């Protein structure tokens, strides 16, 4: 039964993607909606991403300073550890998990509400490709904005580590900067953006899928929003592992 449901949803999800990325009839309509989605995803999520990133960097600095206390590892390694752990893993993964809860649930609720109020049915009667009009702008906006948010999160996390380690006297300014600049690998930044793009695609398409095919009333809409977050988080973590194996194996 599980395997049958899995194949059913995978097939319907794939068909939805094929319909969503068909050629638009009126490009200006999609452009306006894409700009609106970019504003909602980017500006609407900037504050929470910044706050979470500061504390990620701060907690990482404090924890690793505690672990390295009394060892022979140089103190400046803290800056190096914060930089690489943030770029490779924490910034893309944590940011997209948070966005799945904030942005993904909103997308599922928005599209699901339109489905329940028969707005989508009315648009289809008018000849509008509703999957393309409702989903493609969200995906494009996410693919543009979320990597920017991830880059901001990585930068802010390094600042958070600095604020936790240097003003408190745990290490000097020169030591932290030396660690941040040491052993830098540009490939790590490429990996960060690859993860950001894959995660952005997954969380938007899964959330839109849950909302687009919702049936029933308010209870079912709430379940669809919850499923959007749960399945997006699961697929993000699975994709995180696969990308790590492929790019570092």
Does this model's pTM top 0.85? My answer is yes
For residue 187, what are the domain limits?
43-248
* pLDDT at site 152: 95
Whether 50 is in a domain gets the answer yes
Whether 30 is in a domain gets the answer no
Report the alpha-carbon distance of residue 219 to residue 209 in Å, rounded. 17
Whether 204 is in a domain gets the answer yes
Q: How many domains does the chain have?
A: 1
* pLDDT at site 25: 65
Whether 244 is in a domain gets the answer yes
Q: Which residues of the chain have pLDDT under 70?
A: 23-25, 70
Phi, psi of 74 (to 5 degrees): -60, 145
Whether 12 is in a domain gets the answer no
* pLDDT at site 22: 77
* pLDDT at site 201: 96
* pLDDT at site 156: 95
Judge contact between 145 and 38, C-beta under 8 A: yes
H runs (alpha helix) in 89-129: 91-99, 105-116, 119-125
Whether 8 is in a domain gets the answer no
Whether 11 is in a domain gets the answer no
Judge contact between 205 and 141, C-beta under 8 A: no
Token pair in block for residue 83: 């930089």
Token pair in block for residue 55: 């504390």
Whether 172 is in a domain gets the answer yes
* pLDDT at site 207: 94
């Amino acid at each position: 039964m599980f395997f049958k449901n899995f194949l059913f949803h995978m097939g319907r999800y794939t068909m939805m993607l094929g319909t969503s990325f068909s050629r638009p009839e009126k490009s200006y309509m999609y452009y306006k909606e894409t700009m609106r989605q970019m504003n909602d995803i980017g500006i609407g999520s900037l504050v929470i991403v910044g706050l979470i990133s500061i504390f990620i960097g701060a907690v990482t600095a404090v924890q690793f300073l505690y672990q390295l206390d009394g060892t022979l590892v140089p103190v400046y390694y803290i800056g190096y550890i914060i930089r690489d752990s943030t770029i490779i893993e924490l910034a893309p993964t944590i940011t997209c998990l948070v966005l799945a809860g904030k942005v993904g649930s909103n997308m599922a609720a928005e599209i699901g509400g339109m489905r329940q109020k028969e707005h989508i049915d009315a648009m289809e009667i008018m000849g509008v490709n509703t999957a393309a009009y409702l989903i493609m702008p969200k995906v494009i906006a996410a693919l543009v904005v979320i990597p920017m948010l991830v880059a901001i999160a990585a930068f802010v996390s390094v600042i958070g580590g600095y604020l936790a380690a240097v003003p408190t006297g745990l290490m000097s300014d020169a030591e932290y900067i030396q660690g941040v600049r040491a052993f830098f690998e540009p490939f790590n930044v490429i990996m960060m953006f690859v993860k950001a793009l894959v995660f952005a695609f997954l969380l938007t398409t899964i959330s839109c899928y849950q909302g687009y095919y919702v049936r029933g009333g308010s209870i079912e809409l709430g379940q669809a929003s919850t499923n959007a977050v749960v399945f997006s988080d699961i697929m993000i973590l699975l994709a995180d592992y696969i990308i790590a194996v492929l790019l570092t194996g």
